[in-house]
Each structure stands twice: as structure tokens, then as C-alpha cells.
Amino acid sequence: RRQRQMCIRDSSSSGSGDSGGDLLFIFIAGPIFIFAPVVRAALEKKEQPWEVKPTTKRPKLHDIAKRDPNFSPVLLEDFLFELYSRVHAARSDADSLARLSPYLTPKIQEALSRRGGRATQSVEGVVIGGMSIDHYALKGSTDHIYVDYEANYTETIGRDGPDKRVGFYVRERWTFTRATEAQSPSPAKTLAFNCPSCGAPVSNDEDDKCTHCGETNWGGRYAWRCSSIHLVEEKSRAPTLSEYVQEVDGPATTFPAGTQSKFEHLLKKHHGGSAKVFNARVEAAYHGLNDAWSSLQWDDARGFLTDRLWLSWRYWIRAYSDQDLRNEMREAKLERVEIARVDSDPFFDVVVVRIYASAIDITVHAITDTLVAGYRNRRRSYSEYWTFIRPTGRDGGNSDDQCPSCGAPLAVEMAGRCETCRVKVQRGGDFDWVLSKVEQDEAYRA
């Protein structure tokens, strides 16, 4: 699993010897911010995209939170992730794309509908392998965020001859804008992708105004709107997954003041003041994910991950499968955990931990079990930053038995969408800590 972190190089503790020791949880100090999940791919060195430098700073979104009491970094990333998937699935159909018009400028809609100059009949299998907010800027009365995506999708293409299916791997940068006076709605309303003004299903007139309330989302007046898309790369071949990249030393963990008290507060809130339950959850997630990944039984990992992270890592399950490969983390051992950052937003409590672990990390041919990368008799030591989230409380925007978008009896399918209207459903009830993002220590930005 260590060979599949996209968009960045290998990092963390170096070493090839066996590293033992009892499991030790160290709770020290540090602040927090949520990032979407990413996974490691051993791309060809000359083609490694968007390499993250250790000096790169994390985008500061505190100014948005000061103006918007409901602002949630977790929810923002869920929105950005879901919108990307919906847009690509809809871009071959004008009516479907029009239903997303509040979140895309007319110029963007036009560009998407003719991407690549191909006669695209349909787009399916949209899977995001990585997404990150790379930059934030305040320009006048508008907030701007710049989001990097890496994904794949399959197009059915046809014009005069028979249709053919082509899989594409892409890297894109999307720019989103939102008015500084805009206020974030609840998770249920955010992920319904209805009119951002009145919440009704999208139905716009020729002036791009909602036929229900007469409002428009021009300039991101009510919600984030994509104003620019830069297609960095689009190719019809998979990433290289058969290289072994050596670990390098990562920087020491930094612990800003106040994290210990924040963490103790969350322990009292969720676990009666005891760290044992949280510790056990981290350990269970570590072993559960490695077991599911190595066995290719990815459904077994569902309970440990957000929908967004589960879907992202499925991208790499597919990539390995397409190349008849299997990456295995044998004898995986969690050696130490440090609390790096802690925070809460209006909807989620968040804890970022830095894990120190080791495993025999190999890639084999799935049919013959022939070794393709790694060493069968050598342990690999590494560290990563894992972001865990948990609801602060029940979201009052939806009930347990009704879809917040269409009002139908709530039956949620595997991808987390209502079976009736296909809208993403954010359940606000109690559930355990789930993993929202994994970052390599070289890429982690304090």
C-alpha cells in the first residue's frame, strides 16, 4: 500500500531492518485541517505529477470560517469530490449537465460538453484517485480556491463507425469562487446539489435564474461555483505500479500549542475521558485497511473510511487489477501513534494522528504470484498522517427515514446515494471515528 500514494514522492522513516516494540500511543500537541484522501502510486519518476515540496504551506481558510459560522473544511471537500464525479458523469448529456448549472459557469459547461473534440456518447466509471485544495486567495469580495484532481473515467465514443470504450487517466486543476457574504448550508443541503438559494430541484430559465425563487448563483453568490478548469493531462494509459521507491526521512512532527487540551476535550465528549477506545479504533482501522487492501476485499474496509476515501482507494484497486497486479502489506505492524492536530467545525470533530509502522511491502503478479516490486524478506518502515472525523452531533437538516432531497423513504445504496433520486445522503447520526484522509509525512502541510 505504501507504493500507491499519488501526486507525491515517497517519504517518512527510512529503514530496511525489522523494527519491533510494543504499541505505544503518545498524545502530544498540534492544530488541524481536513484534506481529502490520497493514495500512493509508484509513478515513473520522470512523470511524477504535482510533486509536493516540504516547504509548501497548507492553504489557510480561517478567514472563511470567520465570515461563515457554518463553514466546514470536511464538508467542503465532500462537496468538491462529489461535484467532480457528477460533472463528468453528466457532461455527455446537455440536460444532465444543466442540472448542475448553479455550480458551473456557462463557459465551463460548454468546454466540458466538447472535451477532447470527441463524439462522447457517455461517461461512466468516474473514480477520483486524489484531490487536494492547493491554494486559497481572497480577491475583493470573492473567495477563490484552486483544487487539484487526479482521476480516471471511461468514455463511450462514436460518430460514423461503431462505438468504442476508452479509459482515460486525467489530472486537472479547477478554480472555484464564492462570494464572501455566502453562508454554508447543512451537510444534507450541500450534497443535494439543488438550487443553492431556495433548495428546490434545479430548474433554470434562459437567464440562468431559478424558476422557483428567481435567484441565480452568478459569481458564487450562494455557493461555490467552478469558474475555470485547466486540463493538465489526459491520457489513455494507466499509471505505472510496478516500481519500488525507497523511503526517505520525513521531518519531525510539529505540535502547536493547545492540541493536548483539545484532544482531552474530545475524549470526554465521545469516550468518557478515556483514550483507550480511540486508540483501539486507530489500531483497528490500520489493520482493517491493510487486510482489505492486500486481499482485494475492499468492501471489508467500508466501515473504517468516509465514502470519499473508500471510493478514491477503489481507483487504485482497479488500477492494480487492470494490470493483473496485487500490492500486499504483509505482517503489518503499528508501532507508535502521535496526536498531530485536533479541531472541530460546526458539523465534525477532527483528529489527525501520525502513525509509525512497518510491513513487508510487495507487489506481485495476481495470477502467478511472481514478485514485481519490493522484497519478500525485508520490512519497510514508514510514517503517515491519518485524519479521522466524527460528527459533532445530529444534523438537523434531515431525518433518519426521509431523503433530504426528494423526501422518499430513505434507502441508501452502496455509494451513499438515495436509491430514489441518486442524491448523496449525509447521515447525521452516531458513528465511530472514520478515516477521511491519508497523507505521507513529506506531503503533510502544517
The pLDDT-based confidence of 440 (bands split at 50, 70, 90) is confident
User: What is the structure's pLDDT at 31?
Assistant: 30
User: What is the structure's pLDDT at 239?
Assistant: 58
Among 29-43, 155-169, 195-209, 296-310, where is mean pLDDT lowest? 29-43
Distance CA 5, CA 11 (A): 10
Give CA torsion, residues 17, 18, 20, 26, to 10 deg: 50
Mean pLDDT of 422-428: 49
- Partners of 165 in the beta sheet? 156
Other CB atoms within a 10 A radius of the CB of residue 51 amount to 11
Distance CA 261, CA 114 (A): 53
Among 99-113, 298-312, 357-371, 385-399, where is mean pLDDT lowest? 385-399
Question: Whose grid coordinates read 492494480?
Answer: 320
Tens-place pLDDT, residues 264-317: 999 999 888 889 999 999 999 999 999 999 988 889 998 999 888 888 788 778
User: What is the structure's pLDDT at 297?
Assistant: 87
Ramachandran area for residue 219 (φ above 0: left; ψ -120 to 50: alpha; else beta) = left
User: What is the structure's pLDDT at 160?
Assistant: 66
Distance CA 172, CA 15 (A): 35
**Is a pLDDT exceeding 50 seen at residue 426?**
no
Grid coordinates in use for 9? 514522492
Dihedral (CA of 42, 48, 50, 54) sign:
positive
**What percentage of the chain reaches a pLDDT higher than 90?**
46
Tens-place pLDDT, residues 205-262: 988 899 999 999 999 999 999 999 999 999 886 556 666 556 555 667 776 678 989 9
User: What is the structure's pLDDT at 121?
Assistant: 92
The CA distances from residue 305 to 139, 173, 356, 396, 438, in Å, are: 35, 25, 19, 23, 11
